[in-house]
Amino acid sequence: MDCNTGHLVSDIMSVEEARRHLYQQIPESHLKAANKKLAGKKEAMVSLKSGGKLSKLCTNWRKKNKLRRKQSKKNAIQRDLNLKWKKISNRCIQVC
């Protein structure tokens, strides 16, 4: 399932290869709800704001991804600050 769009598929191979990295496997605890939503079809759309099991799962995935991106950005900024500080401190040592 693509948690950003709510696109649910029964077989990942039916999705074009360029978009497969966006799809995540449904955990076993939610398989019953996913099978009910699919109802024998190859694909279905899950409402992202309905409050059902699958929409809550998508919301949690999006929150985790958002936190991961935020932490990654924070780490990148800190890394840049550390490099700038090292450059400044090296200049001070060379001048002094």
The segments of the chain whose pLDDT lies below 70 read 87-96
**CA–CA distance, 65 with 33 (Å, rounded to integer):** 23
Which pTM was predicted? 0.66
Conformation bin of residue 22: beta by default, left when phi > 0, alpha when psi is -120 to 50: alpha
CB 14 within 8 A of CB 34: no
pLDDT tens track for 32-58: 999 999 999 999 999 988 889 999 999
CB 44 within 8 A of CB 38: yes
**CA–CA distance, 73 with 92 (Å, rounded to integer):** 29
